[in-house]
Every structure is written in structure tokens, then in C-alpha cells.
Amino acid sequence: MPNIRDVATLAQVAPITVSRVLNNPDTVSPKTRSRVEAAIAELEYIPNQIARSLRSNRTNTLALVLTDITNPFWTAVARSVEDAARGQSFNVILCNTDENESKQNEYLSVLLRKRVDGFLFVPARSEPDAVRSILRQKVPVVVLDRRVPGAEVDVVRSNSEAGAYELTRHLITLGHRQIAMLSGPQNVSSAQERLDGYKRALTEAGLTVEERWIREGEYTVDSGYAVAGQLLLESELPTALLGANNFIALGAMRAIREAGLRIPDDISVTCVDDIPDWLVGEPFLTVAAQSPYDIGIQATKLLLRQIREPGVHSVEEIVLPTELIVRRSTKAVSTQAVIGEYGR
Amino acid sequence: MPNIRDVATLAQVAPITVSRVLNNPDTVSPKTRSRVEAAIAELEYIPNQIARSLRSNRTNTLALVLTDITNPFWTAVARSVEDAARGQSFNVILCNTDENESKQNEYLSVLLRKRVDGFLFVPARSEPDAVRSILRQKVPVVVLDRRVPGAEVDVVRSNSEAGAYELTRHLITLGHRQIAMLSGPQNVSSAQERLDGYKRALTEAGLTVEERWIREGEYTVDSGYAVAGQLLLESELPTALLGANNFIALGAMRAIREAGLRIPDDISVTCVDDIPDWLVGEPFLTVAAQSPYDIGIQATKLLLRQIREPGVHSVEEIVLPTELIVRRSTKAVSTQAVIGEYGR
DNA sequence: CTGTTAGCGCCTTCAG
DNA sequence: CTGAAGGCGCTAACAG
């Protein structure tokens, strides 16, 4: 691969002149410029961004560290981040942590070495260590989807508490009283908040929060399946089930179906996080939908601002609303007494 | 951010010694080594991979240039590529081209400048120009999902022709004779092949290929919706519909539903590309499923081999089989005569 | 075992 | 308008 000197030699100029043709064409006389351009074309010269980065301390690369690109929520975030970054001539390195802390930390370390210009980061836990390790290097970060108490970072997230609250209220309004909460990992802020929202709705409605209806799992289909499976073995079944995220609900739905129960006739199911309607033929799940595309856009905007204006910013927290979308997976309770037997 | 000299100064050694501690710890005496390590820790020194890349001509970064991460097929590919790359300590830069050639070429140019070590590339068209522009720079490439006649590249793809053939046969076996083909863009090899498979199945069954049943569109939900909408305005409706990919089928399903028709009772629907069953509550579509995860793994393996063994390789083409999965969206034809009126 | 020199490819600074 | 010198951070190659 030819370098700037090869071009310079061929064009009979100094390397710096080639550099100028590339970066400030106006400062070069048309005659030499065209000679240089011809040489560039002939050699198919491609400027070396690595060398440029070494001088400029800019890689024009963002890191997107998320939990699992396989979840349509994160897919949408990734898509929007990439769109927004592209518009500002940044590329995006994608990393899946699977909420695994060691994987996450390994990635952070590699990405810091790569000198990415900034991080869009979904921390595996709500502890501030990881975020701090980035901040200590003065590398811009925006945290997505989760709060990190104890770290001063920009955060873009949805109002999980309100989302879960609304879903629970919706179920209560439908007459449900035995509402199971399939919660996410409690070391993740969004999972905590969703549990909080659930509890608040119950309490405000004068209902008691019963621990037996609350089960903790991971944000995965398998976990939702397993935890719901457990729940369905109990003697008394819930009449409704709130999944802390879409994957938990999907796993639970499979467990429910395999147990021979019908949704929503036997059990209503709902969750935070939508599944894009164009993905599923007929949207079915009642959900508190987030706006993943917005989250990605806003976060990228904040990050690019940090990168471009390295001064001290006030720490921003953008909390986007969720939207209750009622579909066919929830239904007014009717024969709840019967359901206990049904499950057996 | 401290550099290797800062560490060296603090540890009272030469920079090269620090370098050795990082890269060949054994060649440094335990005493100085621990002094250096202490300095590294104290300064929180993070080696600059940019500088290292400049010397080594290796970025440990792969480019994944695909059409749209939003499609679960590509999501799965991306996930597997990232998994495979991580295992070999490579990172992945993700780029969506939306089958837009200028977007694609812009990306290629940026990525070449970034000196990525290799490309996993889904060309927007079957023309060899783009691939050749990479090959000319002697940068390793593997093409995914599509053939590129005229370019000597490794390719990993599914057997689209066979997939479409089997689906069409399946429909014919169910008694369908009016089978519409919602084809993809004919400048993309997979779309051509799927159309070929459709035609072959008809011909082999002694049926005539009727142009009115063949409609060309993009590989998107919107396009599928639009094209199917057109089709449903005709006086005679098909009894079955074959989408060239999952998105086309999803769009078509929406159009069908909005036209007041039922699937599969009024129209059977099927397509190439699955939608992961854990994504949709109850899998519904009859499909010819590809193995996106495999495609990503295999392609990454080929690419890493090219990177690691820069000698001349024989050009490889890996063609993975598709799997016919019969679900509830297809059904034996019964009352096809009636359907024409239904649609109105 | 440790250090010096030099250069990867580019661009900022300063001269001409 | 063009060029020469020097350095970004790191590590081969060659001493000592």
C-alpha cells in the first residue's frame, strides 16, 4: 500500500504538499494540485488514518458496549447510534457483554487501548467501577438504559419505574390481584426500578406486595422460561404476569403455553420493552414501550457534544417516557378462582 | 493520558524496557519488571494501540458491512461475527448500508483508511466493483450471503435457490397453483436465485411460470407491503405467496391482513429467512430457514485465516443448506375460487 | 538484562 | 505557494 511519500515522489513534490492537497486543497496551486491528484489516482493511494490518528489523537470511532445485540431493543439502539454517528463521520465498534462483568471489563480495556473517542455504555451492574475507569482516563462516556449511582455521567434511559407502574395499574384495573412480577437482576438499576414501579402500583391500589409473586431472573428468554416454569408449579397461580423485559416475557409465554394454559384467557402477560410490530406478524403483547431509536440518537448526540466540546459539562440525565400499548395479551380477569385448578 | 515515556521515567528505565514488560515480560529481570509494573499501575498507563498499529500494520479490527442490522437475520450474523472475532481478540466495526451503493462505497473508503484488517462484506449489488476495490488494496475480504460474479473472493452464503425451490414445491404439494413470488431486487444474487428456485419448482411440476405472479421489490417490510398491496388489487388473487425474504413476507402479511384476508385460510404465506422463534411468541411462518449464526462463524473463520496466513489461498465458496420449516402460515388450498371475491 | 537509534505515516510549526 | 524539520507513541534492530 503506497504512502504519502510515494505519492509525493511520483508527483515531484514534498510529502507535505500531498497532505495539503488532501486536507486543504485551496492552499495548493491548481497546477501542482492536479499533478498530485493524478499521482494519488494512479497509485490508488489511501491516506492512513492510523498515522493521522496518532498525530491528532482522534480515531473517529465510538464504542457501543451493550448487553446483547440479539434483543430487538438493542438492535434498534445500535441502528440509531450508527446512523447518528455516520452523520458525523464516526464509526461504531460493537461489543456484546451478555451482562457478564469480566467480558465487559475486558472490552473496556481493549477499547481504551484502541483510543476510541467515546463510549456508549450499558453497564452490566449498577456499580460505578467500570464507568469510573473510563472517566478516570478522561474519555467521554454516556451510559445507556441504566443509572449508575456514585458516578457522574451522562445517562439516557427510559422511565422504567413509570413503565412498570402503568403496566401494573393496567392489570389492576382489569381486576387482577394475583400479579406475578418476573423481575430482572437486582444489581441492574432498570430491574430495580421496574420492581419499584410494580410495588408502588400495588401499594397505591391498597393491595399488599406479596413476596411469593416476585421472582428474580436474568433479562433473557431462557431465564424467563425457567422462572415462569417454577411459578407455574405452585398450587396457586397468578392471573397476570409482568415481565421485567421483553425477553423474560417471551420465555414466560413459552412456559405458559407448554403448561397448557392460554394467554390471556388463563393468564395475562405483559412487559416492559416492546417487540417491533413489523417483526411479528400481529403484535400481541401488551407492553410499556420504550423508544430505543431515540435513546440511541440522544445518547450519541450527548457523546459527540462531549467529544467536540471537551470543557466541563453539567452532567445530563435524559429520561424518556414509556408508552403503554394495550394489545391482546392482557384481559379482564373473570374466572380467577378456576385458574388454580387449570394449572394442574 | 500518560505514555510509555512517562512510565519509563517514573520507573527509572528506558521506554523500551516498559515495552518489554508489556509484551515480553520474561525478558526483563523480576526486579525492574516489578518496578515498571508499579509505575504502570500508579500512572494507570494504558498502552496506545494506535501507535502500536502504526508500527505493526495491524489494527485487530474487522469491518462488518451489512445491509440492515435491524433484520434479525443480520442481527444473528453480527452476533456470531462478534463472538468469533472476540475469541481471536479482534473487534468489529458495524456498518449498515441499506443496500445503498453510495453509502456502501463511502463506508468502504473510510474503512480502508482506517486500515481495518479485513472485511466481512454484503455487497449492495452483485457487481464486482466494490469487492475489487478492496481486493486491489490487498485487504482480506469475505463476502456474505451473496455471490459476486467476476470477483475472486471467498463467499459464505446459503443455498437460496434450493430454499425457494423447496418452499415452492411445498406450496405446490398443498395444491396451490396461483403462487405469487414477491421477489427481491434483481441486481442482488440471492434475489435472482430465489426467483430461479421458484421458477424451477413450477416448471418441474409442469406448471407455467406466469409473469403476472412475479413482482419485484426491495428486501424491506415497506416494499413487501407495497408490492403485496398492488397484487391484492388485481381481479384474480394468488392462493399462496412466496416472499423472497422475511421482511417482504412480513410486509405482505400486513397488506393481506389489512385487505381483510386471513392467513392461511385465504392466502398461504411463506418466505426465505426465518424469524427466530424466541422472538415471536408462537412461530407462525412457514419458511426456508438459513443459519445466520453459522454464516457469521464460517465467514469470520475464513477471514481470520486470510489475515493470519497472507499467502495465496484457493478461493473458497461455502454454501450452507436451508431448512424447510412448515408452520401455520401455509395450508392446503381448498376454496380458491371464492377468494377472488373476498379480496374486494 | 538493558539501552540507543531509528522509523512506522502523517501533519504542525516555522522558513523560505 | 512550497518545503524542511521534528514529533505523535511505540517497538524492531542493533549495541553494550
| Tens digits of residue pLDDT in B242-253 | 999 999 999 999
> Nucleotides on strand D with an atom closer than 7 A to protein CB?
1-5, 7-13
Do residues B331 and B185 both lie within one domain? yes
* Domain hosting residue A273, numbered range: 160-290+325-341
Confidence of residue A336 (pLDDT cuts 50, 70, 90): very low
Is A54 inside a domain boundary? no
CATH number at residue A17: 1.10.260.40
| Closest partner CB to A46 (pick from B76, B89, B113) | B113
Farthest CA pair distance, chain A: 91
Looking at CA atoms only, how far is residue A163 from chain B in angstroms? 21
Size of interface A-B (CB pairs under 8 A): 144
pLDDT for res B123: 97
Looking at CA atoms only, how far is residue B245 from chain A in angstroms? 13
- Using alpha carbons only, give the angle B213, B215, B217 rounded to the nearest 5 degrees: 160
Nearest to A299, CA basis, from A156, A158, A157: A156
Looking at CA atoms only, how far is residue A57 from chain B in angstroms? 9
User: CB distance A44–B109 less than 8 Å?
Assistant: no
Q: Which amino acid is at A286?
A: T
Is residue B341 predicted with pLDDT exceeding 80? no
Mean pLDDT of all residues belonging to chain A = 93
Do residues A147 and A227 both lie within one domain? no
What is the arithmetic mean of pLDDT over A153-171?
Answer: 98
| Range of lowest pLDDT (A249-253, B89-93, B281-285) | B281-285
Do residues B86 and B133 both lie within one domain? yes
User: CB distance B94–A89 less than 8 Å?
Assistant: no
CATH number at residue A253: 3.40.50.2300
Residues 6+ apart with CB under 8 A from A337: none
Do residues A88 and A31 both lie within one domain? no
Is residue A344 predicted with pLDDT exceeding 70? no
What is the arithmetic mean of pLDDT over B27-35?
Answer: 92
Does residue B29 approach strand C to less than 7 Å at its CB? yes
Q: Show contacts of A105-110: CB within 8 Å, 24+ apart.
A: A105/A130, A105/A133, A107/A63, A107/A65, A108/A65, A108/A133, A108/A134, A109/B46, A110/B89, A110/B91
Do residues A238 and A331 both lie within one domain? yes
Is B53 inside a domain boundary? no
pLDDT for res B310: 83
| Range of lowest pLDDT (A70-84, A289-303, B18-32, B111-125) | B18-32
What is the arithmetic mean of pLDDT over A290-295?
Answer: 96
Does residue A332 approach strand C to less than 7 Å at its CB? no
| Closest partner CB to B115 (pick from A50, A93, A281) | A50
- Residue nearest the C1' of C9 (CA based): A51
Confidence of residue B283 (pLDDT cuts 50, 70, 90): confident
Task: State the Cα–Cα distance between residues B147 and B113, nearest whole angstrom.
Answer: 25
Do residues A196 and A224 both lie within one domain? yes
Is B92 inside a domain boundary? yes
pLDDT for res A342: 38
| Closest partner CB to B94 (pick from A49, A54, A94) | A94
Residue to test with chain A: of B67, B73, B75, most A Cβ within 10 A: B75
- Phi and psi dihedrals of B255, rounded to 5? -60, -40
Cα B8 to chain centroid, rounded: 46
| Residues in chain A within 8 Å Cβ distance of B47 | 113
Is residue A343 predicted with pLDDT exceeding 50? no
pLDDT for res A335: 55
Give the residue with greater pLDDT, A67 vs A278: A67
Nearest to A72, CA basis, from A224, A251, A210, A278: A278
Is residue A114 predicted with pLDDT exceeding 70? yes
Task: State the Cα–Cα distance between residues B101 and B131, nearest whole angstrom.
Answer: 12
Strands A317-320 and A154-158: parallel
Task: State the Cα–Cα distance between residues B237 and B216, nearest whole angstrom.
Answer: 17
Nearest-by-CA chain A residue for B63: A93
Looking at CA atoms only, how far is residue B325 from chain A in angstroms? 17
Is A125 inside a domain boundary? yes
Task: State the Cα–Cα distance between residues A15 and A6, nearest whole angstrom.
Answer: 8
pLDDT for res B339: 42
- Residue nearest the C1' of C3 (CA based): B14
Residue-wise pLDDT for B2-16, tens only, equals 999 999 999 999 999
- Residue nearest the C1' of D7 (CA based): A55
Is A329 inside a domain boundary? yes
Do residues A246 and A299 both lie within one domain? no
> Nucleotides on strand C with an atom closer than 7 A to protein CB?
1-5, 7-13
**Eight-class DSSP state of A158:** E
Confidence of residue A311 (pLDDT cuts 50, 70, 90): confident
Is residue B230 predicted with pLDDT exceeding 50? yes
User: CB distance A70–B68 less than 8 Å?
Assistant: no
Does residue A16 approach strand C to less than 7 Å at its CB? yes
**What's the CA B16/C1' D15 distance, rounded, in angstroms?**
14
pLDDT for res B335: 55
User: Which phi-psi region, left, alpha or beta, contains residue A104 (left: φ > 0; alpha: ψ -120 to 50)?
Assistant: alpha
Is residue A15 predicted with pLDDT exceeding 70? yes
Give the residue with greater pLDDT, A311 vs A19: A19
Do residues B154 and B164 both lie within one domain? no
Task: State the Cα–Cα distance between residues B91 and B301, nearest whole angstrom.
Answer: 14
Q: Is the dihedral of CA B83, B88, B94, B99 positive or negative?
A: negative
A93 forms beta bridges with: A63, B93
pLDDT for res B83: 97
Task: State the Cα–Cα distance between residues B269 and B331, nearest whole angstrom.
Answer: 9
Task: State the Cα–Cα distance between residues A194 and A196, nearest whole angstrom.
Answer: 5
Is A307 inside a domain boundary? yes
Do residues A257 and A299 both lie within one domain? no
Contact (Cβ atoms closer than 8 angstroms) between residue A95 and residue B91: yes
| Closest partner CB to A50 (pick from B46, B54, B79) | B54
Task: State the Cα–Cα distance between residues B202 and A296, nearest whole angstrom.
Answer: 46
- Our count of domains for chain B comes to 3
**SS3 call for B69:** coil
Do residues B102 and B224 both lie within one domain? no
C-alpha R_g of chain B: 26
Mean pLDDT of all residues belonging to chain B = 94
C-alpha cell at A75: 438492535
Looking at CA atoms only, how far is residue B79 from chain A in angstroms? 7
**What's the CA B61/C1' D10 distance, rounded, in angstroms?**
19
Q: A137 to each of A69, A92, B42, how far by Cα in Å? A: 27, 20, 13
pLDDT for res A338: 43
pLDDT for res B338: 43
Do residues A191 and A333 both lie within one domain? yes
Is B52 inside a domain boundary? no
Do residues B77 and B222 both lie within one domain? no
Is A273 inside a domain boundary? yes
Nearest to B299, CA basis, from B150, B127, B119: B119
Nearest-by-CA chain A residue for B73: A70
Percent of chain B at pLDDT > 70 equals 97
Task: State the Cα–Cα distance between residues B304 and B62, nearest whole angstrom.
Answer: 9
Does residue B65 approach strand C to less than 7 Å at its CB? no
